[in-house]
Every structure is written in structure tokens, then in C-alpha cells.
Structure 1
Amino acid sequence: MKLPTKILLLVSVLITNTNGLSEEGKWDFTITPNSRPIFQEKNVFKGAELYIGINCETLVSDSKVNLNLAILQSPCWDPEDTYLELNNIITTNKATNSSKVYHSVDTYSCNDHIFLHEGTVVSNKTSRGGIYPLHEFSHDGVYVLGLSITSNNSDLLIHVHIEIKSDYGYLSAVDWPLLPFYGFMCLYYILLGVIWLVLSFLQWRDLLRVQFWIGGVILLGMLEKATFYAEYQVINNKGVEIQGAMILAEWVSCAKRTLARMLVIVVSLGFGIVKPRLGSTLHRVVGVGILYFFLAASESYLRITKAKSQSNRDLLVASVPLAVLDSAICWWIFSALVATTRTLRLRRNEAKLSLYRHFTNTLIFSVVASVIFMLYCLKVHHFVTCLTVWKDIWLEEAFWHILFSCILLVIMILWRPTNNNQIYAFVPLLDTADDNEEEEHLVNDAYGVKVRMHQKQHYQISPRNSVDDDLKWLEENIKSDPTLPTLDSDEELVNTRFEVSKMQ
């Protein structure tokens, strides 16, 4: 296997899962006295505020509860060591406050609702409905909160509500940049859709079939970015995610990714440019598309519904076949591109050959850019013992959307509807009346057979007054060769009649 193909397989495996789950800003827990402490982590902006409310359900009046609350900032993106340190702080019951740690131990009468409001709070901050924040985070960072509740009443049922909100909303510091990003990408796809619709309307008589595929990809891309933007907007405003909306957004994204891969495949195969139809290959393209959508939808569903604490075996079972299929699609694309450019080079069709050279260079550039970006991510974000540069992690998700939008823009420019659309359309090979010189073409077809096609010299062409006479003349003067594929479809016959009618 050649080196570029290996690189392409690596790219397809690593970009299979590009959309991560966004962090919520509100959490609800139901616990009993003397249960295990509650731990919750979140990366926040400077000035974010913490709100905690507790509701008690008991038949014993004037029950007492002891609350042990601690907040610790993690120096690294992975707060695994911070959890152990936080647990030690809670067990010591020593109240210490600093720029990185907040710790308080208090006793409350658990009659009804309890809103914790003792803490370091800036005086100019206003309350939300009379509820003041418990703590204000003084630095950007990853924080871990630990809460332990004990009581002398064993029948007590405690509901804990935790909120962390910044001036930007409930989204975390890592996820918030994706909100304006998806908003911009939605507007970008709307602009592409309007431009493509106007160009298609102006040239509606000469549209190629592949241009309809491009329009479908633009439409699904617009829906994908709109659903992701709506998902992040809901989380940012309400603090909680709607699982059904997330699944819908992921499945729309799967549909767009599926149609995008099918588009690149049919373009690489030369559909509408070199081949008038795909024949049995179309069934394989559709089959691969259906299989890819099924695997991608299954992987996204498991990724959303499975909790982090649960086993990821089912998710791995869905991710590995998806990566293998993506690798096969990439290999198919480049193999088809090689065959298509070879055919155009043998036919000496410089206009179409230049078109596919630009398209091939674009795909090669995308592969190189993907490899460089992945090496950067592996070096900066993954192969480090303590990740401190975590604010640009959102680029790992945004990069692939930007890269595909650039590839789509190049495809739109190369296959844009113009007055010269038919230059790139498939045209059956016909003899020309004005060519009196004998030309010799060597065609290396798919069967590896070399065929010599000789054009007839010095034909006395009688006047042709009708299409039927033209077709009869073609049958009598064009030599048929059994080693070459014959024109056996009504579609090719219509194309032949169209080309002959233009010569009249």
C-alpha cells in the first residue's frame, strides 16, 4: 500500500468521531444522609458564579444537616489527581479559603428549602430572584466541587440543585466558542445555498446531475449547523441539554456526512463528466451510503445516551466498523480519481482534465492539512502529562467543519453552473466531418486490452435532413469493435441525438 493511502486511512480513523458532548450548567442530585459525597467538575470563565439549593423531605421537624463543601481548581485539564486531593480536604473538615480552594463546613435546619449564600461574593453582583451566589470563581480554569451531607435523621431525603453560570451563560469555557462558530457556519451555508440557487436558476436548462448532489449537500450542511447552533443555544440559556434534540442534531450531521461522502465518490468516478451513468456502481454507492449512515447514527446514539461511568464496549463496537468503512471510502475515492484522470488523459480532454487536476490537488491538500493538524493536536493536547492549554480544545471539533466547508467551496467553484456547462458534460465519441486526417488512439480500458480506433478518411457525406438520416449515417460509417463497450442505454441515445441536432 502506498504511503498516501496509509496517511488517508489514518485520517479517516481519527476523524470518525468529531462531535463531542457539551457540558451542562445545572445538576440535580437526590441523596440520603451519610451517602457518598457529590463531585462535579466544570471549566469556567473568570467571574462565573456558583449557586446551590437544598430541599429536604422528612417527617421529623427541625432536622439538622451538616454540609461540607469544598471547591478546588485543577492545574491540568484532567482533574483525576484533584479528586483525590478534594476528598482529603472534605475529610479534614478544616475551612480554608484561597484563590484556588473554597471550603466551608456549616449546619442548617432542614425544614424546607436551603439556599447557601455564605461565601466570597463581589458586592456589586445582583441576586437572581433573591438568591445570592455562594462563590465566585476568580480565575479561568477547571474546577472540581465536592459536597458531603450528613444528618442525625436517617429517614431524610435530600435534593441538591447546583448551578454554575458565567456572564456568557451556562456553557463551559471550552464549549462556549462553538456557539458563535456554529452560528457563523450556519450563515455561511445559507450564503452558499443562496448563491448556488441563483446560479442554478440562471442555468436551469443546462444543469448537470452532479450539481443537484452539490445542492443537496449544501442544504444538509445548513440544517446540520442550524441544529447544532440551536442545541448549544438551549444549553447556554437553560443550563440543561435536551437529549432528543441532541440525537436529532447528530443524525442530521450523519446524513450530511453520508451525502458528502457519496458526492465525493460520484465526482471521483466521473459521473456526468466521463460516464453518462454509474450503472451497477450506483447501487454500491447507495449501499455504502446507507451502511455509513447506519453506523454513524448508531455511534452517535450510543455516545449521547451512554453515561461516562458506563462501559464503552458498545460504543467501541460501533466506532471501529465506522472507522474501517471510512478508510475504505477514502481508498475508493483516490482509486476512482486515478482511473478518471487516466481516462481523460487518454482522450486528450484538457478542459475536464484540468478540472479533475484541481479537484485532486484539493483533496491532497486536505489530507496534508489533516495530518498536520492531527500531529499538532496529539503533541499539544494528548501526549502531555498535564494539559494546561485547554482553551483551544474546541478547535479539534471546529477544524473538520472548516475543512469540509473549504472542500465544498472548491467543488462549488469547479462545478458551478455556467453558460459553458455542456463543456464538462458527458459526450459520446463521434467522428467529425471536417477531420480528414487519420488519428490513432490507444485506449487501455478496464480489461487491460489495447484497442486501435481508426477514423475513416475522405468520406463523402451526403446532406442530412433529419435526425434519422444522421443516425443511419453513423451506423454505416462508425466501425464497431466488440472489445469496446457499446451504447446500450436510452440515455446515451438521447445524448447522441442531442449532439447531432447541434451540428445541424
Structure 2
Amino acid sequence: MSPEAVIINKTGRYIVYFTTCDEDLDGTVVRGRTVWKNLDGYLPGETAPLMKFYGFMFVAYMLLGVVWFPRFVRYWKDGIQLHSHVSLVIAFSMYELAFMYSGFAYLDSVGTSPVKATLWAVSFSSARKALSRLLLLALTSGYGLVKPEISGFTPRMLLLGGMCYVISLSLGSAQHFGSLTEDGMTLLMLSWAIMETCFLQWIFRSLWNTLKKLKVNKRNIAKLQLYKNFAVVLVTMAVLNFAWVYVEVYINDSLSELWQVKWMIPAFWYVLAYALLVVICCFWPPTEKPTRYLYTAEMEDEFEEEDEDEDLVLAEAGMKSENGRNVEREERKSLLEAFILLFVNIRER
């Protein structure tokens, strides 16, 4: 066949078929290539808006960094481990988006994907995802806020974070380079879903335990209120997360009709992650005297005293009870707390 150009005059989703009606050519292998180009470049129409989106998100993280990093450097000595962790997440996110944008720009202008830029983008994306989930675990567990920082990340946290990085790196590489079979992709996606479920369950369990611990000490009203507000944000994010999964499945099933909005699937996750990071930066900013949320040694003694008094009262009440019923140890749960308990009890069910 001689080279042939096909002019497209209408925007849409097009597929090229090679067919033959000659029975003598049955089983013939056709080798060749097709070159697709839009008016603006080589990017497919369904992913072209992502290049502008990655550029926009890079600017958004730059603005967040301009606000965060000067305060972080200024109050370095008064800061906590949490602030260093947030700084790492912001830095890795900026590098990730910079490589994603440069990779898309190169593909749009040349027509081939840059391997090195794509690998760097996938690597930084995987590191950012692992760091973000470890940040939520440390935050909901209260390290440096309700518990001493010296306990830091447990080996189990670091193991799960390492698994998150490896699975995300493998999945991202397979999606960009198509190096796995369909069964291999299914196994990786299943592994990612299981790991995400473990993270989600662990985060909400830790958050519930931290809230319960803060309720014991009546002198930590500010910290308790701060964690309650953060719990509202996390529950809202979880609801949006589950809702978008259904939207993503619907869009993928209706790809022929909704191809123009396919780029919104990955874009939503970036916006959700950025919004959650902004909330964390607003709730726990670097300050000269972060006593509002900083852990103090006296907190542990106060918690122990409160626990002893509570156990003594409950023991006396249990002895006086004639019908042998257990005394309720906690006050009535709010709607928010009940929602958190729903996630906590997933493993037990």
C-alpha cells in the first residue's frame, strides 16, 4: 500500500480497520503504522486536556509551596515531624506534575512518548502516593500531636508504605508502557485495591482511637475540636472517593459516548489529593509556638490519671448494679463517629 492521508472534518472518536474479502489472503499479517495528529498536536483528543490540567496543578502546588516553605524554614526549630512530611509531599507532587507536563508536551509536539520523563513521572507519583498515605496514618495516629514523636512510624507502617510504592510503580509503568498482559494488569489492580482498603481502614481506626483519647482529657478541647473538624473532612473525602469510583466505571463503560470527559478521571484524584493537603496545611501550619496542637509530656500523665478515675467509677457502678448489666463506658456517638465506626468494623465483619 502506498501512503495515504485521510482528512477528518468532524470532531469525534475514530477507529481504523484493515479488512479484506479475498479468501486467499486469509491469515495474512499486515505490518505498518498509522500516524494520528490533531490540529493542536499529536495528543489524542480524549487526553489532550490533561496537559493543560497538569500545568494548572503544577502552578497550584507552586503557590502552595510559596506559602508553606517560607513558614517551614522560618519556624524550623519550633516545628514537628509532621511539617517535614508535608514539605516532602509538596515537593514530590511538584516534581511529579513537572515531569507529567513535560512528557505530555513532548508527546504532543513529536508524536512519541519520552521514556525517561515518563519513568521519572511514574516514580515521583508512586513516592507521592506512598508519602501521602503515611502522612495520613501518622496524622490520624497523633504522632507528635497526641503521642510523642519518638515512636514515629512503626515497621508495619513502613512496610505498607513500601508496598504502596512498589505496587503503584508497577501499575503506573504497565499503564504507560503496556508491558503486562491483561491477567497481570488485573492482578496489579486487585493488589492496589486491597492495599487501599487496608490504608483506609487503618486510617479511620487510628482517627477513632485518637478522638477517643482526646475526649478523656478535658483540657485538650482545642485539639479535640481540631481533630473533629479533620474527621469531617476525611469522611467527606471518603464519600467523594467512593462516589467517583462509580462515576469512573460508568465513564469507562460508556467510552464511545463520553470520550471527551475521560481526562476528568485522573484529574479528579489530583484535585482531591490537593484539597486534602491544603486542609492539612491550614489545620497544622508551622508557627512560632504550636501549643494548640503540639504534644506535651504532661498529656500522657493526664490521660493515665483520667483512665484510672474512669475505671474506678465504672467498677463501683458495676458492683452496685443489681441486674448485672454492663455500664456504658462511652457517651452517645454522633453521626460522624458512627460513620467512622463503620470503617473501623470492616475487618471484624
TM (norm. structure 2) is 0.79
- Looking at structure 2, the residues matched to 174 and 199 of structure 1 have their Cα atoms a distance apart, in angstroms, of 40
Q: Which has the higher helix share?
A: 2
For the pair 1:406 / 2:275, whether they are aligned, the reply is: yes
- Looking at structure 2, the residues matched to 235 and 248 of structure 1 have their Cα atoms a distance apart, in angstroms, of 15
Amino acid at match of 1:403: L
Structure 2 partner of 1:323: 193
For the pair 1:300 / 2:172, whether they are aligned, the reply is: yes
Structure 2 partner of 1:202: 74
- Looking at structure 2, the residues matched to 278 and 418 of structure 1 have their Cα atoms a distance apart, in angstroms, of 21
Runs ≥4 in structure 1, deviation > 4 angstroms? 147-150, 158-161
For the pair 1:214 / 2:58, whether they are aligned, the reply is: no
Give yes or no for contact 2:38–2:45 (8 Å, CA) kept in 1: no
- Looking at structure 1, the residues matched to 15 and 299 of structure 2 have their Cα atoms a distance apart, in angstroms, of 74
Amino acid at match of 1:425: L
Give yes or no for contact 1:258–1:289 (8 Å, CA) kept in 2: yes
User: CA distance change for structure 1 residues 413 and 232 in 2, over 3 Å: closer, same or farther?
Assistant: same
User: CA distance change for structure 1 residues 388 and 340 in 2, over 3 Å: closer, same or farther?
Assistant: same
For the pair 1:225 / 2:97, whether they are aligned, the reply is: yes
The superposition leaves residues 435-484 of structure 1 with CA deviations (integer Å, 9 ceiling, x where unpaired) of xxxxx953179xxx9368xxxxxxxxxxxxxxxxxxxxxxxxxxxxxxxx
- Looking at structure 1, the residues matched to 167 and 62 of structure 2 have their Cα atoms a distance apart, in angstroms, of 28
For the pair 1:442 / 2:313, whether they are aligned, the reply is: no
Structure 2 partner of 1:18: none
User: CA distance change for structure 1 residues 451 and 388 in 2, over 3 Å: closer, same or farther?
Assistant: same
Equivalent runs, 1:107-256 vs 2, <5 Å: 115-116=3-4, 134-147=5-18, 160-256=32-128
- Note the C-alpha offset of 1:248: 2.4
**Secondary structure at 1:301 match in 2:** helix
- Note the C-alpha offset of 1:313: 1.8
User: CA distance change for structure 1 residues 325 and 430 in 2, over 3 Å: closer, same or farther?
Assistant: closer
Amino acid at match of 1:396: I
- Looking at structure 2, the residues matched to 382 and 160 of structure 1 have their Cα atoms a distance apart, in angstroms, of 29
The superposition leaves residues 77-101 of structure 1 with CA deviations (integer Å, 9 ceiling, x where unpaired) of xxxxxxxxxxxxxxxxxxxxxxxxx
Give yes or no for contact 1:234–1:241 (8 Å, CA) kept in 2: yes
Structure 2 partner of 1:339: 209
Q: 2:135 aligns with which of 263, 283, 302?
A: 263
- Note the C-alpha offset of 1:323: 1.6
- Looking at structure 1, the residues matched to 83 and 222 of structure 2 have their Cα atoms a distance apart, in angstroms, of 18
- Looking at structure 1, the residues matched to 183 and 279 of structure 2 have their Cα atoms a distance apart, in angstroms, of 39
Structure 2 partner of 1:360: 231
TM (norm. structure 1) is 0.55
Amino acid at match of 1:354: Q
Amino acid at match of 2:75: Q
- Note the C-alpha offset of 1:375: 3.1
- Note the C-alpha offset of 1:250: 1.1
User: CA distance change for structure 1 residues 377 and 184 in 2, over 3 Å: closer, same or farther?
Assistant: same
Which protein shows a greater Rg? Answer: 1
Structure 1 partner of 2:159: 287
- Looking at structure 2, the residues matched to 148 and 344 of structure 1 have their Cα atoms a distance apart, in angstroms, of 70
- Looking at structure 2, the residues matched to 335 and 444 of structure 1 have their Cα atoms a distance apart, in angstroms, of 23
Q: Which has the higher strand share?
A: 1
The superposition leaves residues 187-207 of structure 1 with CA deviations (integer Å, 9 ceiling, x where unpaired) of 111111121111113323311
**Secondary structure at 2:40 match in 1:** coil
The superposition leaves residues 65-120 of structure 1 with CA deviations (integer Å, 9 ceiling, x where unpaired) of xx4xxxxxxxxxxxxxxxxxxxxxxxxxxxxxxxxxxxxxxxxxxxxxx554xxxx
Q: Which has the higher contact order (CA 8 A, sep 6+)?
A: 2
Stretch of structure 1 that moved more, 347-356 or 311-320: 311-320
Structure 2 partner of 1:93: none
User: CA distance change for structure 1 residues 388 and 209 in 2, over 3 Å: closer, same or farther?
Assistant: same
Give yes or no for contact 2:144–2:294 (8 Å, CA) kept in 1: yes
User: CA distance change for structure 1 residues 261 and 142 in 2, over 3 Å: closer, same or farther?
Assistant: same
Give yes or no for contact 2:13–2:259 (8 Å, CA) kept in 1: no
Structure 1 partner of 2:144: 272
Structure 2 partner of 1:312: 182
- Looking at structure 1, the residues matched to 126 and 89 of structure 2 have their Cα atoms a distance apart, in angstroms, of 12
Q: Percent identity?
A: 25
Stretch of structure 1 that moved more, 225-234 or 176-185: 225-234
Give yes or no for contact 1:442–1:451 (8 Å, CA) kept in 2: no
Stretch of structure 1 that moved more, 219-228 or 195-204: 195-204
Please list every run of 5 or more consecutive structure 1 residues that lacks an aligned counterpart in the other structure: 1-66, 68-113, 117-133, 151-157, 432-439, 453-504
Please list every run of 5 or more consecutive structure 2 residues that lacks an aligned counterpart in the other structure: 23-29, 314-349
